[in-house]
Chains A and B, each alone.
Chain A
Amino acid sequence: MRLCHGRRLRVLTVAAVLTLSFHGLSRAVTYNLRADYGSVTMPDGRVIPVWGFALGSGPVTIPGPTLEVPAGDTTLVINLTNNLAKPVSLVVAGLPATLSPVFDSGTPTRVVSFTHEAAPAGGPATYTFTGVRPGTFLYESGTDPSLEVQMGLFGAIVVRPATAGRAYDAPASAYDHEVVMLVSEIDPVFHDTVAQGKYAPEKTPETALPGEVTSTIDYHPKYFLVNDRPYTDPYAPFAGGRAGETTLIRLINAGLQTHSMELQGTRMDVIAQDGNLLGHPRTGRVSESLEAGQTLDILIRPATAGLYAFYDRRLNVTNAGAFPGGILAFIEVSPASGTVVKAHVQADGPARYCAGNVRRLDASRSTVLGCTSTPTYQWRLGGAPIAAATGVNYDVAQPAGAYSYTVDVTCPGGPAVTDTLAPPAVLEVVADVAPAEVTGLTVARKEFGILSATRDGLVIGWSPAAGAVSYIVYISATPSGPWTPYALGVTAIPTVVAVPSGTAYFRVAAVNFCGTVGP
């Protein structure tokens, strides 16, 4: 039984990060989490500013680190420090905890946090869950959750029962392999709004400044992630063991919407919901709803080796509209016997990227079963072996161009078994050429919407500039500057911006794929 986690979603090596303490007979496990700023890059190159959790002083990840509560522990303690400029907190639906809600001082008073907070710029705060039971759970911020959960403050909790190889104490929850799949959503416009300091929930539409957003009612996700990324090639499937074996899928939805998880080629037995073993499992499902905030534990037992597609039947299978992407995963099932080697590679960023960057190819999620010796690796470019490229990772630092990489993964034991990556990992390195100057600028004032929603706007148009992937609209009170950005990441021409007060001048600059701003 191995924990075959997805992507960089790391189930922690317990000994390395936790301290065991004893409260009478019940043991406690302690994690030190940090809330902090970070960013994730989508497969199309869009950089998303996020707020996330990190372990200790480690990097912020989306989702946050998976917290494991080992068998025998009944208390989970999380010490939270906070490097954000806003208070955060931590709640886990389904785990017993004493909640101390925080209310604002308004009339009427409103809850701002479902439990006590870690103050901005430090904290700390401690969250203690006693009497925890086995299961799959979601932790997330309980402070301004419509903002903070959306920004990325969530992660998985796995609580283990006494018996290894089971999800719960019940024998019916036994499994051979386990995967954690945490689904989430990103509304890139809202993340940018927050990062630019333009989310102003304390204001009303009347008092908000141009560009400020006062609530999250207009949520519109464009990216859909399984663990730390949407589907993207090169792709490494989730490991589902051998044909005939049982794989446990711990399915978690940290997003705000319903997803409908459809598995092709074999059926799902849903054995638990929200960390509660079901009295009667929902057997034989082909497509099962995964609701916002929900966790499902699913057992599958594919009879035949191969890849099994697992995706959101609501068809959130694109990255901002580009198929394939989003909530689309493959589970790989290996032949029932023999030595199995199957090469898989994933990259630490988009396959299309800007020259001057290094892209790391990672073959660590290759499937190697029944191999008694350590696997070896040989990386190839265009089919030709690369000298000294024999590690599990290979760093690509190439000038502009397209490059096709493969890797031979070998189990050297007798007889040796080798598999060569197919399809290849194709990287496209883009030259950073400054975009052309924007011409043909037009500005017109217009009334938009009707009735209560009516407001004036400025329609700004221009001629598309060569090499542009987006534009920045600048504003100034004088024709000569200084210029400050008024709208970032604009892709639609013309665009509509809020009417500023007084006389204003506008300038538009193109931004290329590499983020270089033109004249």
Chain B
Amino acid sequence: MDRQAFRFARAALIVAVLAAAGGAAPASAAISGITGTTFNFTARDGFLANPDGSYIYFWGLADDGGTGEVQLPGPTLILSQGTMVTINLTNMLPEPVSLVFPGQEGPTQPVYDANGRLRSLAQEAAPSGGTRTYTFTAGAPGTYYYQSGTHLDKQIPLGLYGAIIVRPPIAGQAYADAATAYDREYLLLLADLDHRLSTAAESGLSFDSTDWIAGYWFINGRSATDTMSEDNVPWLPNQPYGAMVSMHPGETILLRVLNMGRDPHPFHTHGNHVLAVGRDGRLLSTGGAAGADLAEFHFTVPAGSGQTWDGLFTWSADNLGWDVYGHAPGDPMQVGEYAPDHGKAIPTQTPYLTSLQYGDLYSGSPLLGQTGPLPPDHPGLNQTGAFFYMWHSHRENEMTNLNDFPGGMMTMLAIEAPWVPIP
């Protein structure tokens, strides 16, 4: 328990501090990434900082036009539909690497060695300084990815992948269809890693990938509870992307969930269902003007390997049966409030403080935007009275860092009261 409390404190402290300083929550509602038409990447190795105290060897990509730090996942490309994209790749790794762009049109260009043996699904950049240029046209809007096309079972899990977001001409929508409009959007890139592969690669040894057993799990390159830290925190120089999700009641957020791991990851969103509107960069539609008429609800998004899911998520305590603001029947309505429950009290009483354990992110009050009494030893991390919801792989074993819980493929959704600003 002590260790667990410490972990949550480490991430959630930021919530408290920022909230106290001016109401800012840690999440950024925009997806961090890079835009443009020409990108200069360098493939190199580095170490991931894990909340269990370990440093995990990985292969990743650095944005030469940015910090130049190698990162997991690789830089997120945010592209406008139809953009001609050029990626200049420099390879500082000890073996040839390449990039492929599943979901973008065009045949594979396999490369063979002198013995007629397949080596790569794309032209490679030679080791130790070789370069190669890749071009593609950003096709239909949606969520995509790039990954290594060389020695796939080694180079992809080691970290040579990243997300691609292709935006339609209309801002604020996932697709051309108006039903995919959103107030905020978040990227949740899921991945897994067998640390034995990492250790072998660091030592230049081979690893039989049919013996794969993942021991680490990531969202946006980070393991819980680092997932809840902000983007670009200085203590995670190689893992720039946070995965904390924030919203107000009544808002619609777009979740771009993509699985770059080897294993399927059932991603469970506490709080409500996700309405999936897109798969692999294709609107779930019978076509034409039908809109997202094949959208489907999931309380656990079945993210298979190599799949991308675009989903909408809303929350307004609809039909909860009590007023989350604690209004009296005659009080004015709150923005986004579910009207039929206005003024209804929570039907249960909370027992004495001493009889319960209180999670570090509990505010002391069952009401949204309010705080209440907490035991003296409680860290009081939830100063804004947010409702927190755990979002995680429901293959629960993946909520660990090797053998430590909490960790792995887990983050939080914070639903902030309407008066609490979210950047």
Q: Do chains A and B touch in the complex (CB under 8 A)?
A: yes
Cβ contacts A392-429/B at 8 Å (1 or 0 each): 00000000001010000000000000000001111010
- In the bound complex, what is the Cα–Cα distance between A333 and B115 (angstroms)? 25
| Centre residue among B144, B153, B212, B264 by max chain A CB count within 10 A | B153
Within 8 A of A (CB), among B95-120: 100, 102-110, 112, 115-119
Q: How far is the CB of B302 from chain A (nearest CB, A)?
A: 8
Q: How many residues of A contact B (CB 8 A)?
A: 53
CB within 8 Å for A264 and B100 given contacts A315-B209, A323-B151: yes
For the complex, is B208 an interface residue (Cβ under 8 Å from A)? yes
User: Is B304's CB under 8 angstroms from A265's CB?
Assistant: no
- Which residues in A have their C-beta under 8 angstroms from that of B112? 233, 423
- In the bound complex, what is the Cα–Cα distance between A402 and B115 (angstroms)? 9
- In the bound complex, what is the Cα–Cα distance between A484 and B264 (angstroms)? 44
For the complex, is A313 an interface residue (Cβ under 8 Å from B)? yes
User: Is B107's CB under 8 angstroms from A426's CB?
Assistant: no
For the complex, is B405 an interface residue (Cβ under 8 Å from A)? no
Within 8 A of A (CB), among B139-162: 140, 144, 151-154, 156-157
For the complex, is B262 an interface residue (Cβ under 8 Å from A)? yes
CB within 8 Å for A280 and B305 given contacts A233-B118, A267-B103: no
Which residue of chain A has the shortest Cβ distance to B103 in the bound complex?
A: A286
- Which residues in B have their C-beta under 8 angstroms from that of A234? 116
- Which residues in A have their C-beta under 8 angstroms from that of B272? none
- Which residues in A have their C-beta under 8 angstroms from that of B64? none
- Which residues in B have their C-beta under 8 angstroms from that of A302? 107
Which residue of chain A has the shortest Cβ distance to B279 in the bound complex?
A: A285
* Interface class of chain A by DSSP: loop
User: Is B102's CB under 8 angstroms from A308's CB?
Assistant: no
User: Is A321's CB under 8 angstroms from B280's CB?
Assistant: no
For the complex, is B354 an interface residue (Cβ under 8 Å from A)? no
For the complex, is A130 an interface residue (Cβ under 8 Å from B)? no
Q: How far is the CB of B398 from chain A (nearest CB, A)?
A: 15
Cβ contacts B298-318/A at 8 Å (1 or 0 each): 000010111110000000000
Q: Which of B105, B117, B212 contacts A266, CB < 8 Å?
A: B105
User: Is B107's CB under 8 angstroms from A265's CB?
Assistant: yes
CB within 8 Å for A265 and B280 given contacts A287-B304, A404-B116: no
- In the bound complex, what is the Cα–Cα distance between A428 and B209 (angstroms)? 25
For the complex, is A235 an interface residue (Cβ under 8 Å from B)? yes
Number of residue pairs A-B, CB distance < 8 angstroms: 144
User: Is A317's CB under 8 angstroms from B210's CB?
Assistant: no
User: Is A423's CB under 8 angstroms from B116's CB?
Assistant: yes
For the complex, is A184 an interface residue (Cβ under 8 Å from B)? no
Q: Which of B106, B152, B281, B294 contacts A286, CB < 8 Å?
A: B281
- In the bound complex, what is the Cα–Cα distance between A379 and B102 (angstroms)? 37
User: Is B210's CB under 8 angstroms from A305's CB?
Assistant: no
For the complex, is A258 an interface residue (Cβ under 8 Å from B)? yes
Which residue of chain A has the shortest Cβ distance to B119 in the bound complex?
A: A324
Within 8 A of B (CB), among A166-211: none
- In the bound complex, what is the Cα–Cα distance between A305 and B304 (angstroms)? 29
Within 8 A of B (CB), among A250-298: 258, 260, 262-267, 280, 282-289
CB within 8 Å for A260 and B264 given contacts A285-B280, A307-B108, A317-B153: yes
- In the bound complex, what is the Cα–Cα distance between A426 and B115 (angstroms)? 6
CB within 8 Å for A321 and B108 given contacts A287-B305, A404-B116: no
For the complex, is A303 an interface residue (Cβ under 8 Å from B)? yes
- In the bound complex, what is the Cα–Cα distance between A311 and B151 (angstroms)? 13
- In the bound complex, what is the Cα–Cα distance between A353 and B102 (angstroms)? 36
CB within 8 Å for A318 and B153 given contacts A233-B118, A287-B304, A423-B116: yes
- In the bound complex, what is the Cα–Cα distance between A423 and B115 (angstroms)? 8
For the complex, is B211 an interface residue (Cβ under 8 Å from A)? yes
5 further A-B contacts with Cβ under 8 Å, apart from A287-B305, A307-B109, A424-B116, are A265-B107, A267-B282, A315-B152, A315-B262, A330-B110
List 6 A-B residue pairs with CB atoms under 8 Å apart, sorted by A's residue number. Answer: A258-B264, A262-B102, A287-B306, A314-B262, A315-B305, A318-B153
